[in-house]
A and B are shown apart, each in its own frame.
Chain A
C-alpha cells in the first residue's frame, strides 16, 4: 500500500474551551473519494476548518499527517502549497481584488513551491480560459472582483473552478452542494468528477445524500457529536437517505438532533 495522503488520528479540537471534535480518526489514500456526512452541529465544518488551518481553533489532542508532514504545524498558505484545497461553504467576497490577478498570484505561489516556472499574465489567461469551460462559467467572471456580486451558485462553481486551476492533491469540499439547484449541482459534480485522478483525493463534506448521486464516493463516514460513528461504502449514504441520522445517533448512545 502506498503512503496515504491524509491520516487523522484521534483528533480533538474546539473553540473557546468547547470541544467539538472528540476523537476523529480518518485515513485517505490517493485515488479515493470520501464523503463525510452528519447532522448539523456534528463537527463537519470544524474538521474542514481545522484541516485548512483556520485560526481560532484549539487542538487539544491527536495528530494529522498529510503526505508525511505534520499538517497542524503548517500555516494555511503552506498547506495550500502542499496541495491541500478547501472549497469554502461560504466563499468570501473580496471587493477590489481582480479574480484573474488573485488566481495567478495563487497559481504562481504553488508553481514556485513546486519549483516550476511561473506563468506571466498572457500565458496564465490562456491556461485559465480552458479551466473556465470545465465549470461552464462565463469568461466575464475573470474580470470581476473575487466572488463580488456572485450568486450563490456562481460562488460554489467558482470554488471548483479554483480547484481546477490549482490542481490539489487533497480537496476538501465543505457543503459545496448546499444552496445549489439541481442543474448547478450537476455542473459542480461534473467538474469535481473531471478532476478526480489516481494521484489525488477528495473529502466531500455534506449534509445530504443528493450530492453523492453525482459524485460517487468510495467511502462514507458519519460524524456525530465529534466522532465518526459509522463508516461504510456508498450504500451507507443511501441508507441514511432512507432512515435519517437518528438510528445511528441513538446507536452511538447519544440523543439525536
Chain B
C-alpha cells in the first residue's frame, strides 16, 4: 500500500501562463490545495481498486522545460498515427505548442482553433466561463493536479450552427520528458447547433518515460453534434492518466471513442453529463494491449434529465501478462424518466496470464427507464479458428482475423470514415507487429476455450 504523502514532492508549485488572469491563478491554487489534501489514490480507494499507482512512485511531477529547438522533425511526425489526415492540427510536444508542426486549414468562418495558453489572452470570456467547469466535478486528484500545472493544450470554439474539423490534436512526448510530467489541457466548446469532429492522439517518440496527465473538457450546447476520438499509444514505459469530461445540451449527439493501446499504465476517466433532454450519447472504446501493460477505463454517465440515451461499448483485447480494468457507472437521477442506458464490456484474453477486472454498475433512481448492462470475458473461438484453417488460412492469420473482427465491432461505430480507416490500419499493424510469443496473436501458452468463446 502506498502512503499517499510519500509521493508528493514538497516543492510542488502551481504553474502559470504568462499574464494569466487572477481567477485562473486562484483556481490553480485551490486545485493544488485539493490535490495535496486528497493525495494519490491507493487501491483502498474503491475507484482505484484494480489499478495500483505504485509504479508512479519514481516519477516527479515537474514539468518539462520548453526547448527552443523543435524536438521532433516533420519527417518523424509524418510517421505518427493520424498525422497523414488532412484538416487542421495542433501539435504539442512535451506539453508545449509546436507552431512548426501545427496548421489551421479550411475551417468555417468564426471557428477558433488555437493553443489554450493563447486563448487565455485572446478569448478571456469564453475561457473563464468554461474552463474547469466540467472536469472539476467528481475530479480525480489528477484532474486537480492538471488544473494546477497545465501550461497549454488545445482550444476549439465552434460558433452557433458552424462546423469544424476533423481537427487532429497531438500530444507527443519525447525522451526529454523522461522522469517528468506533462499536463496538457484542452477545452472544446460547441455552441448551439454546432458540429465538430476532433481527435486527440497521445503518442511517444523514442523512449519517453514520463507521466501524461491530461484533461479535456467538451462543452456542447443544444442540438450540437460531436464526434471525438482519443487515441493513446504512448511508449510502453509511460504512464497516462486522462480525464475526458463532456456536458451535452438538449438534443445533442455525442460520440466519444477511446482507444487504449500504449503506456505501461493508462487510465482514462470519462465523465459524461446528459444535461439536456433528448441527448444521444455513445461511449465506445477499445483496449489493445499486451506484455505487462495495464489499461483502465473508468466512466461515469450521469442522466440528469428525461429522454436521454447513453450506450457504452468497450471491447478489450489482452495479450501477454497485460491487465484490463473497466469500470462503468451509469447514474439515472429521479427526474431522468425514459432514460435508455446500455453498457457492454466484452473482453478477449489471448493468454493465460492476461487478466481483466470489469465492473459495470447501474444506479437507477427513476422508475420508467430501460437500462441494461453486461460483461463477458472469453478466448478466441476454437471452432472459428479451425473453420478458417480448414480453408487454407494459416493459424496466425486466422487468429488475427478474429481479433481484428472483435476490434471491428468498436471501429464500426466511428462515423467519420477517414478516422475509422486510419484506426483500422493501426489496429491491423499492431496485430501484425505483436505476433510474437509475448505479444498479441499467438503464444505458446495461448489457451483456447470453446465454452468461453466470444464468437
**Interface on A for B, CB 8 Å cutoff?**
52-55, 75-77, 79-81, 85-86, 88, 91-97, 102-103, 105-106, 109-110, 113, 145-146, 162, 166
Answer whether residue B382 sits at the interface, using C-beta atoms and an 8 A cutoff: yes
Q: B388 near A94 (CB under 8 angstroms)?
A: yes
| Closest chain B residue, CB of each to CB of A108 | B392
Q: A109 near B386 (CB under 8 angstroms)?
A: no
Contact mask for chain B residues 369-396; partner A; CB cutoff 8 A; 1 contact, 0 none: 0000000000001111011111111110
Contact mask for chain B residues 234-249; partner A; CB cutoff 8 A; 1 contact, 0 none: 0000000000000000
Q: A77 near B455 (CB under 8 angstroms)?
A: no
Answer whether residue B24 sits at the interface, using C-beta atoms and an 8 A cutoff: no
Q: A80 near B382 (CB under 8 angstroms)?
A: no
Answer whether residue B405 sits at the interface, using C-beta atoms and an 8 A cutoff: yes
In the assembled complex, the CB of B353 is this many whole angstroms from the nearest CB of chain A, namely 22
Pick the residue among A88, A93, A96, A110 that contacts B392 (CB under 8 A): A110
What 6 A-B pairs have minimum CB-CB distances, sorted nearest first?
A96-B405, A80-B392, A106-B391, A109-B392, A76-B389, A92-B387
Answer whether residue B401 sits at the interface, using C-beta atoms and an 8 A cutoff: yes
| Closest chain A residue, CB of each to CB of B386 | A54
Q: How far is the CA of A166 from the CA of B391 in the complex (A)?
A: 8
> Which residue of B382, B387, B391, B406 has the most chain A CB atoms within 10 A of its CB atom?
B391
The prevalent SS among residues of B at the interface is helix
Contact mask for chain B residues 401-414; partner A; CB cutoff 8 A; 1 contact, 0 none: 11011101100000
Q: How far is the CA of A55 from the CA of B381 in the complex (A)?
A: 13
A-B contact count (CB 8 A): 79
Q: How far is the CA of A86 from the CA of B391 in the complex (A)?
A: 8
Q: How far is the CA of A110 from the CA of B455 in the complex (A)?
A: 26
Q: A80 near B391 (CB under 8 angstroms)?
A: yes
> Which residue of A81, A97, A102, A162 has the most chain B CB atoms within 10 A of its CB atom?
A97
Residues of A contacting B386 with CB < 8 Å? 54-55, 76, 92
Q: B392 near A106 (CB under 8 angstroms)?
A: yes
Residues of A contacting B404 with CB < 8 Å? 96
Known contacts A75-B395, A77-B395, A102-B401; A95/B389 CB under 8 A? no
Answer whether residue B338 sits at the interface, using C-beta atoms and an 8 A cutoff: no
Residues of A contacting B382 with CB < 8 Å? 55
In the assembled complex, the CB of A197 is this many whole angstroms from the nearest CB of chain B, namely 20
In the assembled complex, the CB of B16 is this many whole angstroms from the nearest CB of chain A, namely 50
Residues of B contacting A166 with CB < 8 Å? 391-392
Q: A77 near B389 (CB under 8 angstroms)?
A: yes
Q: How far is the CA of A86 from the CA of B388 in the complex (A)?
A: 11
Residues of B contacting A103 with CB < 8 Å? 391
Known contacts A96-B409, A105-B397; A91/B387 CB under 8 A? yes
Q: How far is the CA of A85 from the CA of B402 in the complex (A)?
A: 21
Other A-B pairs, 18, CB within 8 Å; known A54-B386, A88-B387, A102-B393: A77-B391, A77-B393, A77-B398, A80-B392, A81-B392, A85-B390, A88-B390, A92-B455, A94-B384, A95-B405, A95-B409, A95-B455, A96-B404, A97-B402, A102-B388, A102-B391, A106-B392, A109-B391
Q: How far is the CA of A92 from the CA of B391 in the complex (A)?
A: 12
| Closest chain A residue, CB of each to CB of B405 | A96
In the assembled complex, the CB of B104 is this many whole angstroms from the nearest CB of chain A, namely 36
In the assembled complex, the CB of A187 is this many whole angstroms from the nearest CB of chain B, namely 21
Q: A106 near B393 (CB under 8 angstroms)?
A: yes
Q: A93 near B455 (CB under 8 angstroms)?
A: yes
| Closest chain B residue, CB of each to CB of A106 | B391
23 inter-chain pairs at a CB distance below 8 angstroms, sorted by A residue, are A53-B389, A53-B390, A54-B386, A75-B389, A77-B393, A80-B391, A85-B390, A88-B387, A92-B387, A92-B455, A93-B455, A94-B384, A94-B387, A94-B455, A96-B404, A96-B405, A102-B388, A105-B401, A106-B391, A106-B392, A110-B392, A162-B391, A166-B391
Q: How far is the CA of A55 from the CA of B330 in the complex (A)?
A: 44
* A-facing residues in B405-440 (Cβ within 8 Å): 405-406, 408-409
In the assembled complex, the CB of B393 is this many whole angstroms from the nearest CB of chain A, namely 6
> Which residue of A55, A93, A96 has the most chain B CB atoms within 10 A of its CB atom?
A96
Residues of A contacting B393 with CB < 8 Å? 77, 102, 105-106, 109
In the assembled complex, the CB of B360 is this many whole angstroms from the nearest CB of chain A, namely 21
In the assembled complex, the CB of A254 is this many whole angstroms from the nearest CB of chain B, namely 32
Q: How far is the CA of A86 from the CA of B402 in the complex (A)?
A: 20
Residues of B contacting A102 with CB < 8 Å? 388, 391, 393, 401
Known contacts A92-B384, A109-B394; A80/B389 CB under 8 A? yes
Q: B405 near A94 (CB under 8 angstroms)?
A: yes
| Closest chain B residue, CB of each to CB of A77 | B389
Q: How far is the CA of A166 from the CA of B388 in the complex (A)?
A: 13
Pick the residue among B390, B397, B408 that contacts A86 (CB under 8 A): B390
Residues of A contacting B395 with CB < 8 Å? 75, 77
In the assembled complex, the CB of A85 is this many whole angstroms from the nearest CB of chain B, namely 8
In the assembled complex, the CB of B296 is this many whole angstroms from the nearest CB of chain A, namely 25
Residues of A contacting B392 with CB < 8 Å? 77, 80-81, 106, 109-110, 113, 166
| Closest chain A residue, CB of each to CB of B391 | A106
Residues of B contacting A110 with CB < 8 Å? 392
Residues of B contacting A93 with CB < 8 Å? 455
In the assembled complex, the CB of A163 is this many whole angstroms from the nearest CB of chain B, namely 10
In the assembled complex, the CB of A227 is this many whole angstroms from the nearest CB of chain B, namely 26
| Closest chain A residue, CB of each to CB of B397 | A105
Residues of A contacting B388 with CB < 8 Å? 94, 97, 102, 106
Residues of A contacting B409 with CB < 8 Å? 95-96
